[in-house]
C-alpha cells in the first residue's frame, strides 16, 4: 500500500511510526494550500525573491528561478517552511488567480480561465451548443428582451444591430425549417430593405426605404416620390370591397384634410369611390398614370364591366388629350383648351353607320345622329326627331 493519497499525494502515517506529528503536519500544510486554492499569479515567469508563507503560483511555460527550474510547468508551487513545494494538479482542480480575478480549471492537460463575469465570454448557449458562427445560441419557445426596471433604467428599450460599413449587411432573417423565407435590414447598403424567398436561395426585394428622402419604393431599386411602385409583373394597387360596408381615407396629418378616400356606403353594394381632395379650394390635386419608359403604347384608365370579366366599358388613354370642365359638365376632346359646350371636339367626329334595313329605334331619343350609307340618293347623315330618322339635308324621312 502506498504511503501517499491517490489524488494529491498527501503523506500517510505508517504503523508504529515515530514523530507522527511531522507527517500529520506536512499533510495539513498541503491541505491548507489545496483547500479553496488561491494563487498569486498564473503568468509570472520569474521566481519571486521574497515569497510569503503559504503563497502559491501556477507555473507557466518558460518559468525560471532556483526552485522553479526544477518544478514542471502547470504545477502549483507553494512556499512552505522556507522552500517551494510542488503540487501536481489533477483533472477538475480549480484555483482562484488573484492578479487577474478569474478562476482557472485544470482539465488534465492544461489550465483555462473561467471568467467571474460575462465579459469577453467567447460563446454562450442556452439549451443548445454555441459555435464559432453562432456565438450566442438559444433554443426556446420565446425570448424576452425588456427595458431595465432593476437598475432602474430610463424605461427605453433599444436593440442595436451594427455592421462595419455600408457594403456589409445588418439584418434579421426569418426561416422555416432553417431555410430563409424573409429578411429585413440594411442589405449591402444603407437603405432599409425587405426581401422574401420561396426556397431560401433566391430572394426578391419587396420594399426599400430611402434613408435620405424617406421615400418608399415597392419592387423598385429607388423611389422618385413618397411612394413609388414598380416591378416587372404588372405592378399596381388593387382596392377590393368584398360585400360589407367600408370606408377609409388618407389624411394630411398637419391640416387634417382628406387626401384620398374610398367608400362603400350602406345599401349600395360593392362601390369603391376614389377621390383626390385638397379641401382648401386653391391647391391642385391629381392622379398621374405613366409608363417608366417612353414607348409607342399609351397609359390607360379603364372602367370595367361589372360582370367579373376582363371586359371594360370605358377607357381613357394618355395618347389623346381630353378635358372635362367640372363646373359646367362640358368636355373637350383633342385639345387642352377649356370646352365651350357640352362636347367640344377639336377634330373630325365619327358616328355609327347603319344601313336602311337595320336602323336603330328613333324613339330611343330625339337628337340622335347616325350615318346611313345606302339611303336613296346616296350616303347621308340622319337625325332622330323622336319618332323617325330624317335626312339632315332635306328632313325627308329615311326609307
Residue 83 domain-assigned (yes or no): yes
Q: Report the pLDDT value the prediction gives residue 259, as an integer from 0 to 100.
A: 61
Residue 143 domain-assigned (yes or no): no
Q: Report the pLDDT value the prediction gives residue 243, as an integer from 0 to 100.
A: 52
In this structure, the answer to whether residues 274 and 307 fall within a common structural domain is yes
Split into its structural domains, the chain has a count of 4
Residue 1 domain-assigned (yes or no): no
In this structure, the answer to whether residues 266 and 329 fall within a common structural domain is yes
In this structure, the answer to whether residues 336 and 360 fall within a common structural domain is no
Count of other CB atoms within 10 angstroms of residue 96: 15
SS3 category, 356: helix
SS3 category, 196: strand
Q: Report the pLDDT value the prediction gives residue 223, as an integer from 0 to 100.
A: 87
Please write the tens of the pLDDT for every residue from 289-325: 666 566 666 666 666 666 666 666 666 655 555 566 6
In this structure, the answer to whether residues 336 and 251 fall within a common structural domain is yes
pLDDT at 73 over 90: yes
In this structure, the answer to whether residues 263 and 328 fall within a common structural domain is yes
In this structure, the answer to whether residues 254 and 317 fall within a common structural domain is yes
In this structure, the answer to whether residues 263 and 284 fall within a common structural domain is yes
DSSP state of 363: G
Please write the tens of the pLDDT for every residue from 180-233: 999 999 999 999 999 999 999 999 999 999 999 999 999 888 888 888 887 766
Residue numbers of the domain that contains 108: 36-114
**R_g over Cα of the chain:** 46
> Is the pTM here over 0.75, yes or no?
no
Residue 124 domain-assigned (yes or no): no
In this structure, the answer to whether residues 341 and 363 fall within a common structural domain is no
pLDDT at 117 over 80: no
In this structure, the answer to whether residues 261 and 296 fall within a common structural domain is yes
Phi, psi of 32 (to 5 degrees): -65, -35
Query: Taking Cα atoms as reference points, which of 290, 258, 254 lies closest to residue 276?
Result: 258
Residue 387 domain-assigned (yes or no): yes
Residue 146 domain-assigned (yes or no): no
In this structure, the answer to whether residues 335 and 365 fall within a common structural domain is no
Q: Confidence band (pLDDT; 50, 70, 90) for 93?
A: confident
Residue 362 domain-assigned (yes or no): yes
Residue 13 domain-assigned (yes or no): no
Spatial contact of 71 and 47, defined as CB atoms under 8 Å apart? no
From residue 370, alpha-carbon distances to 132, 263, 331, 344 in Å are 84, 39, 21, 18
In this structure, the answer to whether residues 87 and 57 fall within a common structural domain is yes
In this structure, the answer to whether residues 253 and 300 fall within a common structural domain is yes
Q: Report the pLDDT value the prediction gives residue 238, as an integer from 0 to 100.
A: 61
Q: What mean pLDDT value characterizes the chain?
A: 80
HSE-up of residue 239 (Cα within 13 Å, Cβ side): 14
Tell me the C-alpha distance between 381 and 399, whole Å: 13
Question: Any idea which residue has 376614389 for its cell?
Answer: 274
- Read off the pLDDT of each residue in 362-374 and give the average, rounded to a whole number: 95
HSE-up of residue 267 (Cα within 13 Å, Cβ side): 0
Amino acid at each position: 500500500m502506498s504511503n501517499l493519497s491517490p489524488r494529491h499525494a498527501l503523506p500517510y502515517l505508517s504503523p508504529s511510526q515515530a514523530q507522527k506529528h511531522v507527517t500529520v503536519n506536512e499533510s495539513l500544510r498541503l491541505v491548507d494550500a489545496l483547500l479553496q486554492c488561491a494563487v498569486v499569479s498564473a503568468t509570472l515567469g520569474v521566481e519571486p525573491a521574497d515569497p510569503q508563507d503559504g503563497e502559491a503560483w501556477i507555473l507557466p511555460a518558460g518559468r525560471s528561478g532556483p526552485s522553479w527550474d526544477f518544478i514542471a510547468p502547470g504545477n502549483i508551487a507553494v512556499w512552505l517552511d522556507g522552500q517551494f513545494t510542488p503540487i501536481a494538479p489533477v483533472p477538475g482542480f480549480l484555483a482562484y488567480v488573484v492578479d487577474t480575478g478569474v478562476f482557472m480549471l485544470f482539465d488534465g492537460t492544461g489550465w483555462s480561465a473561467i471568467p467571474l463575469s460575462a465579459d469577453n465570454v467567447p460563446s454562450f448557449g442556452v439549451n443548445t451548443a454555441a459555435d464559432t458562427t453562432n456565438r450566442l445560441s438559444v433554443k426556446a419557445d420565446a425570448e424576452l428582451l425588456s427595458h431595465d426596471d432593476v437598475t432602474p433604467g430610463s424605461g427605453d428599450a433599444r436593440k442595436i444591430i451594427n455592421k462595419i460599413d455600408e457594403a456589409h449587411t445588418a439584418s434579421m432573417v426569418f426561416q422555416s425549417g432553417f431555410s430563409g423565407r424573409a429578411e429585413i435590414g440594411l442589405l449591402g447598403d444603407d437603405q432599409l430593405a425587405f426581401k422574401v424567398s420561396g426556397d431560401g436561395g433566391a430572394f426578391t426585394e419587396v420594399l426599400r426605404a430611402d434613408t435620405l428622402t424617406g421615400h418608399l419604393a415597392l419592387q423598385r431599386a429607388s423611389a422618385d416620390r413618397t411612394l413609388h411602385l414598380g416591378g416587372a409583373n404588372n405592378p399596381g394597387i388593387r382596392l377590393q370591397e368584398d360585400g360589407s360596408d367600408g370606408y377609409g381615407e388618407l389624411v394630411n396629418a398637419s391640416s387634417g384634410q382628406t387626401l384620398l378616400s374610398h367608400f362603400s356606403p350602406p345599401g349600395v353594394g360593392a362601390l369603391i369611390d376614389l377621390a383626390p381632395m385638397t379641401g382648401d379650394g386653391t391647391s391642385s390635386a391629381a392622379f398621374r398614370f405613366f409608363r417608366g419608359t417612353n414607348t409607342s403604347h399609351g397609359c390607360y384608365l379603364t372602367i370595367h364591366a361589372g360582370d367579373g370579366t376582363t371586359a371594360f366599358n370605358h377607357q381613357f388613354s394618355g395618347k389623346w388629350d381630353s378635358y372635362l370642365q367640372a363646373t359646367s359638365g362640358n368636355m373637350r376632346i383633342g385639345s387642352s383648351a377649356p370646352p365651350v359646350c357640352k362636347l367640344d371636339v377639336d377634330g373630325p367626329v365619327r358616328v355609327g353607320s347603319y344601313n336602311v334595313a337595320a336602323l336603330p329605334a328613333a324613339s330611343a331619343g330625339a337628337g340622335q345622329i347616325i350615318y346611313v350609307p345606302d339611303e336613296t340618293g346616296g350616303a347621308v347623315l340622319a337625325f332622330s326627331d323622336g319618332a323617325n330618322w330624317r335626312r339632315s339635308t332635306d328632313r325627308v324621312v329615311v326609307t
